[in-house]
Structure 1
Amino acid sequence: MPELRLIVGLGNPGKEYCWTRHNLGFLVLEKLAERFKVEFRNSSFTKGLIAKTEYDNCELVFLKPITFMNNSGSAVKPSINQLLIKASQMLVICDDFQLDYGQLRLRAKGSDGGHNGLASIIDVLQAKDFPRLRMGIGAPPSKEGVVEYVLDKFSKKEMEGLEDFVSRAADCCLSWAKDGLAIAMERYNRKVKEDEYDGENRS
């Protein structure tokens, strides 16, 4: 019997947020849905869009909360309850301004790291022990606040590497589901090359 895995991509609903840094989680799920030729539909059990597919010996459920970022937990908890899974069977994808642009960091558990979406999930579940994939967006320029930066659209330079970045994140999600956390971490938690996505040239 296929093992069930829930992959949650964090973001904000609405076309105006589509290409913003804060919506990387949505972009990864859309890439996965494209690969498996499945469509997102309104969920009957939570405030979100759901798509389902099978991969290797896994049944994958993709969830895009439509609660807006700060209330992501209110979409995640009903999903876990409905699917009858443990938090360890869920992977949450989010952006991280403390990582260089293009860097992936997969972890088994941890704090919210200042991310409101993760904070909401931790608060609602009352647990920190669920896997999360952080995607680096780089630090905001000194003249720009964090909130404005994450809600801003990708720069021209960032857009040039975005397709590869999102594809690697999608690969990481599938490796987590198929191979397990340890192997996926070893494979994808690498440092971005110095000449790759140069932060000083992301204009």
Structure 2
Amino acid sequence: MSMISLLVGLGNIGERYLGTRHNVGFEVVEKVRQALKLSFQPPTETYDWAVQERGERQIILAWPKTYMNHSGLAARALLQDTDLQPLQMLAVVDDFNLPLGRIRIRQGGSDGGHKGLVSIIEALETEDFPRLRLGIGPVSDNIDAVDFVLSRFEKEEIKSAEKMIDTATEIALFAIDHHLEEVMSRYNVNPA
């Protein structure tokens, strides 16, 4: 099995979405970019990106500019532009079905009701791509799920959210240098 060469952080572009639960994927990939000290490449129509050359291998970090529900357009373009396969791409996404702070890495699987993953699965015509799911839940009974994911973390949640983002950044950095099975066996635990 090949290693991860493409990290795609899912989120929504624009200042109004900065710091929202739905944008934790963007935040993780940005922290990876900072850790690797990478500069942005000239943007494309569908994504912003940064690249690190590693001998004969490139590590590509990307942020779709298509908004969450159309993330598949960017994922498909990225794979076509880079000549990579879906199994070499790690989608970094929020998951309101997981409690805040829980992180789960999977080889593939269903969309779990996540519109960004729905879009990627439809665009790539496969569920077989790794994803790093970051728990932002649970959704309160008194709020609509859409409003919840577009909200910012409550004051008492910020510390847990920051710890989760830092841990996910560590996982993503590990994933670009190790096979996915090793990443899953090392990190599929509750980081509480």
Q: Which residue of 1 aligns with 2:121?
A: 122
* Amino acid corresponding to residue 40 of structure 1 in structure 2: F
Give the drift of 1:165. 1.4
Q: Secondary structure at the match of 1:142?
A: coil
Paired with 1:26 and 1:168, the residues of 2 have a C-alpha distance of 14
Paired with 1:70 and 1:49, the residues of 2 have a C-alpha distance of 17
Give the drift of 1:4. 7.0
Contact preservation (8 Å) 2:41, 2:48: yes
Change (3 A) 1:37 1:121: same
Q: Which residue of 1 aligns with 2:172?
A: 173
Change (3 A) 1:158 1:41: farther
Give the drift of 1:40. 2.8
Paired with 2:133 and 2:165, the residues of 1 have a C-alpha distance of 12
Q: Which residue of 2 aligns with 1:5?
A: 5
Give the drift of 1:35. 0.9
Paired with 2:82 and 2:131, the residues of 1 have a C-alpha distance of 19
Paired with 1:42 and 1:15, the residues of 2 have a C-alpha distance of 20
Give the drift of 1:39. 2.7
Give the drift of 1:134. 0.4
Q: Which residue of 1 aligns with 2:51?
A: 52
Long gaps (5+) in structure 1: 194-203
Q: Which residue of 2 aligns with 1:146?
A: 145
Answering whether residue 18 of structure 2 is matched by residue 18 of structure 1, we say yes
Paired with 2:29 and 2:35, the residues of 1 have a C-alpha distance of 10
Give TM-score scaled by structure 2 length: 0.93
Paired with 2:72 and 2:141, the residues of 1 have a C-alpha distance of 31
Alignment map for 1:15-164 (pairs within 5 Å): 15-44=15-44, 46-54=45-53, 58-164=57-163
Instruction: Pick 1 or 2: higher relative contact order, CA cutoff 8 A, min separation 6.
Output: 2
Contact preservation (8 Å) 2:41, 2:51: no
Task: Output the aligned Cα RMSD.
Answer: 1.8
Long gaps (5+) in structure 2: none
Paired with 1:165 and 1:129, the residues of 2 have a C-alpha distance of 25
Contact preservation (8 Å) 2:9, 2:29: yes
Identity score, percent: 38
Paired with 1:55 and 1:169, the residues of 2 have a C-alpha distance of 22
Q: Secondary structure at the match of 1:105?
A: strand
* 4+ runs deviating over 3 angstroms: 54-58
Q: Which has the higher mean CA deviation after the structures are superposed, 51-60 or 95-104?
A: 51-60
Q: Which residue of 2 aligns with 1:189?
A: 188
Change (3 A) 1:182 1:4: closer
Contact preservation (8 Å) 1:76, 1:121: yes
* Amino acid corresponding to residue 61 of structure 2 in structure 1: F
Cα deviation per residue 1:101-152 (whole Å; 9 max; x = unaligned)? 1111000010110000000000011110000000001111100111100000
Contact preservation (8 Å) 1:96, 1:137: yes
Contact preservation (8 Å) 2:13, 2:65: yes
Give the drift of 1:33. 1.1
Paired with 2:56 and 2:189, the residues of 1 have a C-alpha distance of 27
Q: Secondary structure at the match of 1:52?
A: strand
Q: Secondary structure at the match of 1:97?
A: strand
